[in-house]
Structure 1
Amino acid sequence: MSIKFTLPTNLSHLKLGEAIAFQGISDNGVTKVELLADDKFKLGETGVYDGTWTISYPFNRAGKRRIVANGLDANQQQISSDAVDVFLVGARQNELGIDIYSNNGDSIDWQTVKNSDISFAFAKATEGETFVDSQFAKHWKSMKAAGLIRGAYHFFRPLKDPKLQADNFLKKIQDLEIGDLPPVLDIEHYPEKIALEWQQVSLNQRIDIVQQWLDKVESATGRKPIIYTSPSFWDEYMEDSQAFINYPLWLAHYTDKPEPTVPANNWGGKGWTIWQYTESGTVAGVNGFVDRNRFNSSFDDLVAFVKDSLIA
């Protein structure tokens, strides 16, 4: 006994405010279908006629949703299910996100995070040649289950082999999917011991080792990585170089101004893609302070950014 979606297809982009028709087929054992969003919110139910069913529902909030169709038999017992992920797109600007690592704890309620108007999230995966964040695997799986657009980042160590660092990261993101954010390289001079490491490397060497990591990860994943950094690091340690302006910029700058200071001549005129605007934000579902971020456009453009990061 089985049930299957026929429309919409997986990872479809659907418009807010319109009644979306979810359609499918099932065999004779299924007499009724119930439709759920994110395994929690019931969208409707219907009978099965000639092996087909349709349930329509209008959404009013942008985001990624997992839609589950449960097939029930004549005794109202669930006997089959199928699921699709869809993107609901709207006109809101500056989609909101967070980023976390092991210090944020292991008890993050990712469904509550998503319901707090958060569209995307990054988790620390690795650092250096061998370190793996103890909470990454759990958060990586849970972010997907909650329907967030997820991403992973590697914290770069300038005195470690960049290719071995790339290998460390790639081992942890082998299940990177088309709908996930591109890989991220975290380049910064905090804490102080990291600054001391950068001081032992010349500018040309800094550019070279960063490029080696980017090249290896891009080749392995087919995705153009994001660079995470700060204006102060880029000015002091990269001498405001424009060597990496073809990579999307995730900028950490905590300021009361409406826009961050963007290095490298406004990143070659392209500006910031993601802005980490505070390290002391709060979000329901996360205990204590958490980094908060903005994507520099609408949810529709966030989805397009993810898609466009794929290398042709």
Structure 2
Amino acid sequence: MFTVLDVSRWQGRIDWDTVKASGRVHGVMLRALGSRSGTPYIDPMFETNYSACTRLGIPVGIYYYSCAVTAPQRDAELALLHDALRGKRLQLPAAIDVEDARLRALTPDALSALVAGAARQLEHWGLYAMVYTYTHFADTALHMDTLAPFDLWLADYRGKRPARRHGMWQYTSSGRVPGISGPVDLNRTEKDYPALLHRAGLDCTIL
């Protein structure tokens, strides 16, 4: 079992040397894009966190918060994401964060098709695409069969591993890790993603 953090600007400045020395963390999912009133922006701590994790050899993946309800909005998010990722290497998946209430304006079929299109674009870039959401959103706002080709990163804080098939489980938002002041999301996965991505040739530099 591997423990993976996910962090964003809201964790502030992280002492990654202390995180690494704790021996508790096998990887980190960094937020690459946030959203401000539906407009995407590059997380202001992304570059700093990426550089520190890379220096220390902590496996890195990314996620981006999506508010897209149209194909042009989706493509605008992806264009900014590509700018943020150019020249970087990932050892963990690239995840689309699908949870915003605005997304419920679409039917589950329409939203799932939009998300699947974004995931296929991530794969086109040579990344390991993943979809993040929480259990109730998966149950009520998505058509999960459409998203079955992609690993699911599922948030569920009820203390029991979700029955729904998933690649990674976010089991708490109130974890504590040395080097991070305040609570942090913690995730568990049985998949050795760095080895999986390496075997598949998906840990190359993003062009």
Q: Please indicate, yes or no, whether the TM-score normalized by the shorter chain is above 0.5.
A: yes
**Deviation for aligned residue 1:170:** 1.1
The structure with the greater share of residues assigned to helix is: 2
Could you tell me which residue of structure 2 aligns to residue 234 of structure 1?
138
Change (3 A) 1:288 1:175: same
In the alignment, does 2:157 pair up with 1:254?
yes
2:98 to 177, 187, 201: 187
CA distance in 1, matches of 2:3, 2:88: 21
Could you tell me which residue of structure 2 aligns to residue 295 of structure 1?
189
**Deviation for aligned residue 1:173:** 0.7
Runs of 5+ consecutive residues of structure 2 not aligned to the other structure: 203-207
Whichever residue aligns with residue 285 of structure 1, its letter is: G
1:111 to 6, 13, 17: 17
The structure with the greater share of residues assigned to strand is: 1
- What TM-score results when the alignment is normalised by the length of structure 1? 0.59
CA distance in 2, matches of 1:231, 1:119: 24
- Name the SS for the 2:158 alignment partner: coil
- Name the SS for the 1:305 alignment partner: helix
CA distance in 2, matches of 1:237, 1:167: 25
- Name the SS for the 1:249 alignment partner: strand
**Deviation for aligned residue 1:174:** 0.9
CA distance in 2, matches of 1:278, 1:309: 30
CA distance in 2, matches of 1:208, 1:293: 26
| 1:92-128 C-alpha deviation (Å, 9 max, x unpaired) | xx1112110111102x111211222211001111135
Could you tell me which residue of structure 2 aligns to residue 57 of structure 1?
none
CA contact (8 A) 1:224 1:309 kept: no
Could you tell me which residue of structure 1 aligns to residue 69 of structure 2?
159
CA distance in 2, matches of 1:185, 1:201: 17
- Name the SS for the 1:157 alignment partner: coil
| 1:236-294 C-alpha deviation (Å, 9 max, x unpaired) | 1015x31111111211111222x2242xxxxxxxx322111100000000000000111
> Percent of aligned positions with the same letter in both sequences?
25
In the alignment, does 2:188 pair up with 1:306?
no
Could you tell me which residue of structure 1 aligns to residue 48 of structure 2?
138
CA contact (8 A) 1:170 1:217 kept: no
In the alignment, does 2:108 pair up with 1:203?
yes
CA contact (8 A) 2:153 2:169 kept: yes
Could you tell me which residue of structure 2 aligns to residue 26 of structure 1?
none
CA distance in 2, matches of 1:254, 1:159: 27
CA distance in 2, matches of 1:292, 1:224: 20
Whichever residue aligns with residue 255 of structure 1, its letter is: R
Could you tell me which residue of structure 2 aligns to residue 54 of structure 1?
none
CA distance in 1, matches of 2:68, 2:46: 22
**Deviation for aligned residue 1:176:** 2.8
Whichever residue aligns with residue 103 of structure 2, its letter is: W
**Deviation for aligned residue 1:305:** 2.1
CA distance in 1, matches of 2:171, 2:103: 24
CA distance in 2, matches of 1:290, 1:96: 12
CA distance in 2, matches of 1:295, 1:230: 16
Could you tell me which residue of structure 2 aligns to residue 273 of structure 1?
167
